[in-house]
Structure 1
Amino acid sequence: MSKAYVFTRNGGPEVEALVDQDTPVPGPGELLVAVRAAGVNPVDWKLRAGYTRPGSEPQPFPTVLGSEAAGVVEAVGPGVEGFAPGDEVFGNPVTGGYAEHTLLPVSVTAHKPAGLPFADAAVLPVAAATAYDGVRQLGLAPGATLLVTGAGGGVGTAAVQLARHAGVRVIGAASAAKKDFVESLGAVHVASGPGLADRVRAAAPDGVDAVFDLVGGDTLREVAPLLSDPATLISAGGKPLAVELGGAAVERARNAAVLDEVARLVVSGVLRTFVTRTFPLAGAGEALRAVESGHALGKIVIEVTA
């Protein structure tokens, strides 16, 4: 048996529970991994609330929460090559990361570098990889100006760092409480909320060349007109609205090569993960509330005791 933090139906926090379940068995192309750490992301509570990823099949209840994890391989499924029991890995689980054991598909699993702590590796498959894909998709030249909304969150923090590393000037929209943090990343901070577009214009009088949106909704609608070319708008926070406004969703690569690259960037010091709080598996609900509140700074991680 293995402990896991699940939701038993769609709804609010009241549908979550820590349960004992059968340890999953790896199928073809899968790894059974003893989880050491799991990243916590907004998509986790959105899936619990009833959001369905486009093209995905409805999951049976109970469903284990968690979209990214790092741990140690305990067994490999049929046809698996390049991985063996004892390997330290990280990736996107198919059976949820908030658990003592999960299954990782080899297609989106990478070997964890020896110098990378499990907690840091666990926040790369969703947040850092999304940021990497988005910055690469925009392909901005050095000296260009990029607006990142939600710059103080997990994806935003990584996007700011990656864009700055590429020589791009970044305007980071975040709450006033995150001003010092956003500026420490090398971005020009502007306060989020009503009137954001005017504040961006004041911070970038020559205009912005692209927008990397991580918020959606009214924020996305307000900043979209800042662009002369709507095609330079991408979003991971309001994908359908971005398309409606002439932009695009972030095109996710979802492969091991991207995971290898973001891990390399962390180990080399280019990218910092900013894991700001950790919780035990028994505290997974509290961890998720911290993210669901919208006020989390950096990344929050659930650490699972071996």
Structure 2
Amino acid sequence: MARRWVATRWGGLDGWEFQEVELPQPGPGEVTIRVTAAGVNPADYKHVSAPRPGLELPAPVGYEVAGVLSAVGPDTEIASGGGAVGDAVVAFRIAGGYATEVIVPAADVFAKPPRLDDPAAANLLLAGSTASQMLHTVGVRAGETIIVHGASGAVGVSVLQQAAELDVHVIGTASEARFAEVRRFGGTPTAYGPGLLDRAREAGHGHIRAALDCVGTDEAIDVSLELVADRNRIVTIVAAARAAEEGFHAINGAQPESAAYRDSVRADLLALAGSGRLQVPVARTYPLAEAIEALTFLKDGHPGGKIALLN
């Protein structure tokens, strides 16, 4: 008997339950994963905070996992090819990852790079594919300088590393306590708060060509609009209302074009991480049974890295 977390009503975490469920055998095109680590993301609770089309209650929670194949459906291969019981794998854009075992489409499952431990592997693809799409959306080019608001967060850290691969220099906003993290991944840190516009201009020598917003504050948006005249070169993953008002890009994983793009880069991100050129800092782990505590920690503070639920 497997166990999984489900949201039994829309709203807060008090509507979540850790339930037992009996899993059938996987069908054609499906595999069963014994989950060893589940990635923890803000999307996990945001997507069940209110009714949305296509989602019914009780709703299983969790979009990305690392684990081991425990069953493989007939005539089925995983996305990276092959796939046998006992293989270590990563899965992303699945439903119900907060579980001891889960049946998922084989097309969303990839071999886990050996150098990635399970907590890091389980947290690579949601943040990584979001970061990749942000860079893609604003059309970054080698040699450019860009600004990233919230550069020390999970998506920001992935942006820093992927930008470095593209020979793009990043001015990254963060608290002074997080400057070392921005520098660690190749960015030039600058403190948010009063005077940010002038500090960013100075750090970028007046040549900031694109702005990526991971925080959604009015300050971040206002500074982006001042620094970057071309609205097509500004993107946010938080401030959709400001984006609609001001005419720049807002992306999220529920958009069909975003989902398609993020699916398309999963293998590339795993290869990058497997080579050691894309790291996933993990701040804390919790037992799966303590998912509510993990999400409360994520919501209430600045974890300083990713969080994983372990089985």
Q: TM-score, normalised on structure 1?
A: 0.88
Aligned-residue offset at 1:159: 0.5
Cα distance in 2, alignment partners of residues 292 and 26 from structure 1: 35
Spell out the pairing of 1:1-306 with structure 2 (5 A cutoff): 1-23=1-23, 25-50=25-50, 52=52, 56-61=53-58, 63-78=59-74, 80-81=76-77, 82-92=82-92, 94-193=94-193, 195-225=195-225, 226-239=227-240, 241-250=242-251, 251-252=258-259, 253-255=261-263, 258-304=265-311
Aligned-residue offset at 1:180: 1.9
Q: C-alpha deviations, 1:228-284, integer Å up to 9, x for none?
A: 1110112222345334422223444132x5222112212222111111211111221
Kindly provide the amino acid, as one letter, of the partner of residue 280 in structure 2: T
8 Å CA contact retained: 2:38, 2:122? yes
Instruction: Specify every segment of 5 or more residues in structure 2 that has no aligned partner in the other structure, as ranges.
Output: 252-257
Kindly provide the amino acid, as one letter, of the partner of residue 49 in structure 2: A
Cα distance in 2, alignment partners of residues 130 and 247 from structure 1: 17
- In structure 2, relative to structure 1, the CA distance for the partners of 1:138 and 1:2 (3 Å cut) is same
Q: C-alpha deviations, 1:34-74, integer Å up to 9, x for none?
A: 1011111111121232274xxx502221x222111111112
Kindly provide the amino acid, as one letter, of the partner of residue 203 in structure 2: A
Q: C-alpha deviations, 1:70-128, integer Å up to 9, x for none?
A: 11112233552333322221122533111101233233321112332222211122011
8 Å CA contact retained: 1:38, 1:119? yes
8 Å CA contact retained: 2:65, 2:90? yes
Aligned-residue offset at 1:174: 2.0
Aligned-residue offset at 1:150: 1.7
Q: Which moved more, 1:102-111 or 1:238-247?
A: 238-247
Cα distance in 2, alignment partners of residues 213 and 51 from structure 1: 26
Kindly provide the amino acid, as one letter, of the partner of residue 296 in structure 1: P
Cα distance in 1, alignment partners of residues 175 and 24 from structure 2: 41
8 Å CA contact retained: 1:24, 1:102? no
Cα distance in 2, alignment partners of residues 108 and 125 from structure 1: 11
Q: Which moved more, 1:23-32 or 1:185-194?
A: 23-32
- In structure 2, relative to structure 1, the CA distance for the partners of 1:44 and 1:195 (3 Å cut) is farther
- In structure 2, relative to structure 1, the CA distance for the partners of 1:24 and 1:147 (3 Å cut) is farther
Cα distance in 1, alignment partners of residues 9 and 279 from structure 2: 36
Aligned-residue offset at 1:188: 1.4
8 Å CA contact retained: 1:33, 1:101? yes
Kindly provide the amino acid, as one letter, of the partner of residue 41 in structure 1: N
Which SS does the other structure have where 1:209 is aligned? strand
Cα distance in 2, alignment partners of residues 217 and 24 from structure 1: 46
Instruction: Specify every segment of 5 or more residues in structure 1 that has no aligned partner in the other structure, as ranges.
Output: none
Name the % identity: 37
Cα distance in 1, alignment partners of residues 173 and 134 from structure 2: 17
Aligned residues: 299
Q: Which moved more, 1:143-152 or 1:234-243?
A: 234-243
Cα distance in 1, alignment partners of residues 8 and 111 from structure 2: 32
- In structure 2, relative to structure 1, the CA distance for the partners of 1:19 and 1:193 (3 Å cut) is farther
Which SS does the other structure have where 1:49 is aligned? coil
Cα distance in 2, alignment partners of residues 31 and 239 from structure 1: 36
Aligned-residue offset at 1:137: 3.6
